Amino acid sequence: MLITSPTALTHAELRSLALAVLAAFIAIILLSACETTSTTRGLPAYEPPLAKKDFQNVRTTAYTHTEADHTQYGARNALGGELHAAGPAIHRAENVRRAGTISDSDEVDVINISNTDTKLQPFSMQEKKATRVTTTTRVTKTTPVRGAKRAVAASKPTKIGSAAADWGRWPMGTTFRLLSTGQTYRIEDYGWALSGRNTIDLYMSNRRDMNTWGARQEPIQILHWGDPQQSLQFLQSHTDYKHIKRMVLELQSRNEEAAALQ
């Protein structure tokens, strides 16, 4: 007669234990992979900064808050404020097609206008009737009313969009205008892919606008330069992240060290 030990595990219990061990093993592998990716991820290739001028030619890209690398932050910028899309583009006169001259070879629809009801007057050299033309002019007199206020049309303030960039090149608060569209943006954000790069990322409220913009080389006009010291104070306590450390080195004018950081 076989006597079963009370401490022996049943088949179901052994199966549950095996599944638990397997799940723990998979979790350890995933966590190790994430840690390796985050610690060994190299920074983007370093580009020498553009000259600090009021007019620059800049590579621009676009992003939105529903992208995978931004979902954890939502529609918030690095300063904790809300991300804003810029106002509508202003169509410039230079982009309007000019009217061309019409030549004999051009196909043009000609409309002939005639008035068959009008009788022509006979022409004679002997008749010299004087024709008096009377012109009536209406004069409108405006009487000012005391206490009345003249209505003045108030222009709507420009809607400034959010943008991300390397704060070592465009400190936070830098405001600029896209010369091609007339839209105004302000640097309020930064990103890993922008560190050490001459690229400005423009915020779009949806993926359609983001994809439509794509990547463009754009002339910009700097309306206001941000304060480098404020950017330095904001970033200095977060140098554990390599892309932030690179920006801090740039703000400290240590560009060679920033370029060497990988």
How high is the pLDDT of residue 79? 87
Q: Count how many domains the chain has.
A: 1
60 domain residue, yes or no? yes
16 domain residue, yes or no? no
126 domain residue, yes or no? no
165 domain residue, yes or no? yes
Q: What is the DSSP string of the chain?
A: -PPPPTTPPPHHHHHHHHHHHHHHHHHHHHHHHHHHHHHHPPPPPP-PPPP--SEEEEEEEEE-TTSTTTTTT-SB-TTSSB-----PPPPPGGGSPPPPPP-TTS---------TTPPPPPP-SS-------------PPPPP-TTPPPP-PPPPPP-PEEEE--TTTS-TT-EEEETTT--EEEEEE--GGGTTSSEEEEE-SSHHHHHHH-SEEEEEEEEE---HHHHHHHHGGGTTSHHHHHHHHHHTT-HHHHHH--
28 domain residue, yes or no? no
177 domain residue, yes or no? yes
Query: pTM of the entire structure?
Result: 0.62
Provide the CATH number for the domain around residue 188.
2.40.40
112 domain residue, yes or no? no
Mean pLDDT by 10 residues, the chain (262 residues): 51 67 42 37 94 97 78 76 93 42 39 39 42 49 54 68 98 98 97 97 96 97 98 96 97 97 92
14 domain residue, yes or no? no
Which residue segment(s) compose the domain that 216 sits in? 45-89+157-260
